[in-house]
Amino acid sequence: MKHLVVLTGAGMSAESGIKTFRDADGLWEGHDVMEVATPEGFHANPELVLDFYNQRRRQLLEVEPNPAHFDLAELEKHFKVTIITQNIDDLHERAGSSNVIHLHGELLKVRSTYDKSDIQQWTNDLCLGDLCPKGHQLRPHIVWFGEDVPMIEKAMDICATADKLLIIGTSMQVYPAAGLMHYIPQQTPTYLIDPKPNIESKENLTVIAERATVGMKMFISYFNF
């Protein structure tokens, strides 16, 4: 079975009602990202940061996967599919995708501020005083600016085995995720679904300048399943 590697970003979940990570003015839901998405911001005002992610978590639990998520899950009938996502939502999993790597963490998980490996599922609000078993404050299981991306090496290894590459809803301009393109075998057919594509033209590249739900239908139509 051919290996389809899929790189997804904010545009994948936008049609489910999930706001994109950063607006053009550098704000995320009205907040300076340095206040809510850095270790320094958490240290300076942990209550603000916890409240920010509590709002995101509540929003996530109110939305559903969109047709593009379900179409992607259906492709597992025809390909070995690995999804490498920059998104922190669980919409790929809820739609039925079975092999998802989250580069930037997961909103429905928290971890100990003392032990990075102490990770647990979390669907309620996270508050000051919510502690790990060793008595340390819990924090969102999110990769903040300035922190290591623990899944990036695994993602590089996966990209090196791609027979086809599909990119959905991400400009692939932000590192380290953007660097994954360098690990795709040179002749691999690549498909980009994005309403405002911003990618260097290259051999074997097919651009589908549509939003995710429309673009996924077009992508599927290229194959005679």
pLDDT at 140 over 70: yes
What are 169-201's pLDDT values in tens digits? 987 777 778 889 889 999 999 999 999 887 777
Has residue 9 got a pLDDT over 70? yes
Taking the whole predicted model, whether its pTM rises above 0.85 is answered as: yes
Q: What is the pLDDT of residue 112?
A: 98
Q: Is the pLDDT of residue 213 over 90?
A: yes
What pLDDT is attached to residue 194?
93
CA distance 178 to 170: 9
pLDDT at res. 199: 74
Q: How confident is the model at residue 202 (pLDDT cuts 50, 70, 90)?
A: confident
Q: How does pLDDT run across 51-81, given as a tens digit for each residue?
A: 999 999 999 999 999 999 999 999 999 999 9
pLDDT value at residue 171: 77
- Provide the pLDDT for residue 49: 97
Catalytic residue among 69, 92, 104, 141: 104
Predicted confidence (pLDDT) at residue 25 exceeds the cutoff of 70: no
Closest CA to 20 of 211, 204, 150: 211
pLDDT computed for residue 20 by the predictor: 61
| pLDDT classification of 29: cutoffs 50, 70, 90 | low
Is residue 128 exposed (0-12), middle (13-18) or buried (19+ Cβ within 10 Å)?
exposed
Report helix, strand or coil for 122: coil
Average pLDDT over residues 21-35: 66
Q: Is the distance from CB of 6 to CB of 79 less than 8 angstroms?
A: no
pLDDT at 26 over 80: no
Following DSSP, what letter does each residue of 17-76 receive, concatenated?
Answer: TPPPS--TTSEETTEEHHHHSSHHHHHH-HHHHHHHHHHHHHHHHH----HHHHHHHHGG
Calculate what percentage of the chain has a pLDDT beyond 70.
95
Q: Where are the beta strands (DSSP E) in 130-174?
A: 138-142, 164-168
- Average pLDDT over the chain reads 92
Burial class (CB in 10 A: 0-12, 13-18, 19+), 33: middle
Examine the residue annotation and report whether 104 is marked as an active-site residue of this protein: yes
Assess whether pLDDT exceeds 70 at residue 27.
no
pLDDT tens digit string along 80-100?
999 999 999 999 999 999 999
